[in-house]
A = this chain, B = another copy of it.
Amino acid sequence: MALLGKLVVCGVGLIGGSVALALKRAGAVERVVGVGRSPAALEHALALGVVDEIAQDWAGALQNADMVLLAAPVGQTDAIMEAMAPHLGPNTLITDAGSTKRDVIEAVYRRLDAHLARVVPAHPIAGAEKSGVDAAFPDLYVGRRVVLTPLSENDPAAVERVRAMWQACGATVVDMAPQEHDRVFAAVSHLPHLLAFGLVHDLAGRANAELLFSHAASGFRDFTRIAGSHPEMWRDICMANRQALLAELDQYLAELAYLRALLLGGEADRLEKLFEEARCARNAWAERNAPPPITAE
């Protein structure tokens, strides 16, 4: 018997669609039902075989549902939870795939407070350069990490069942406290995106922008790659994780103030020491963390 009888995927894009395909391939789900805002997109997902059915409304979708995966843009979380709540049964587990957790959890407390035992927030760390159901593929989560941020109210069996679902997709699952999650990802993901967007925006607005870009080379290419990311998705992440991101930005501004002082004071030795410490740390990390073998096309 499969891990899940009926899985409902809300938001059948790259993330949600890849979970569906992974679980189907693993024989871990019997039936996948898609819900979302766009009937045409859902029809397309159905035609691709990513979902087995489309639901017309939450009442139909949630009937006898074992698990719901919320994989829509994080800005829609509150509205989705509000719409689901009246139709949610006492045996349905809920998980999500949002890049931020504290805001999702606030929505959970606000909209799903009768179901806290069964809502287990998650964040799959999976590249999302492409988007949409056409980009979905079953290997997206293989060798990747998923972070769970269980609520104190969670039923331990619910947590383990959600963990098993993500593991069935091929992922390694770790647990973190929500606040810690948001600070960690603010530091290593959200802030770098903000910084890269900021540099490109700064230079693009210059009178000599064309000259500047004409002399940009490989260092600029690498540093700004993430400035090619989706503006809407990153707007949502930055807004959702505003508090943690501001804290991280302020830490970084203190680092830049120190660097500024070193430059101003001509402190070559201190500057070299800083660069050396950074290089050591970066190289050690890179050695321990070869990129995952499977990447989205």
A293 contacts across to B, CB distance below 8 A? none
The dominant DSSP class at the A interface is helix
Interface centre among A194, A213, A285 (most CB of B within 10 A): A285
What's the least CB distance linking A177 to chain B, in Å? 11
Is A137 located at the chain interface by the 8 A CB criterion?
A: no
* B263:A249 contact, CB within 8 angstroms: yes
* A272:B231 contact, CB within 8 angstroms: yes
Is A251 located at the chain interface by the 8 A CB criterion?
A: yes
* B219:A193 contact, CB within 8 angstroms: yes
Is A55 located at the chain interface by the 8 A CB criterion?
A: no
* B225:A222 contact, CB within 8 angstroms: yes
Is A2 located at the chain interface by the 8 A CB criterion?
A: no
- Interface residues in A213-263 by Cβ distance below 8 A to B read 213, 215-232, 234-236, 238-239, 242, 245-246, 249, 251-253, 255-256, 259-260, 263
* A264:B246 contact, CB within 8 angstroms: yes
A213 to B278, CA, bound (A): 12
* A213:B197 contact, CB within 8 angstroms: no
A127 contacts across to B, CB distance below 8 A? 217-218
A216 to B218, CA, bound (A): 21
A193 contacts across to B, CB distance below 8 A? 219
A211 contacts across to B, CB distance below 8 A? 180, 184
What's the least CB distance linking A289 to chain B, in Å? 7
7 closest Cβ pairs, A-B complex = A231-B275, A204-B281, A200-B278, A235-B272, A188-B216, A231-B276, A202-B255
A-B contacts, 27 of them at CB < 8 A, read A125-B215, A125-B217, A180-B211, A184-B212, A184-B215, A188-B216, A189-B215, A193-B219, A195-B199, A197-B275, A198-B274, A199-B255, A201-B274, A201-B275, A202-B251, A222-B222, A222-B226, A223-B223, A223-B226, A227-B282, A232-B272, A245-B263, A246-B260, A246-B263, A246-B264, A249-B260, A256-B256
Q: Residues of A with Cβ closer than 8 Å to B? A: 125, 127, 145, 147, 180, 184-185, 187-189, 191-206, 208-209, 211-213, 215-232, 234-236, 238-239, 242, 245-246, 249, 251-253, 255-256, 259-260, 263-264, 266, 268, 271-283, 285-286, 289, 291
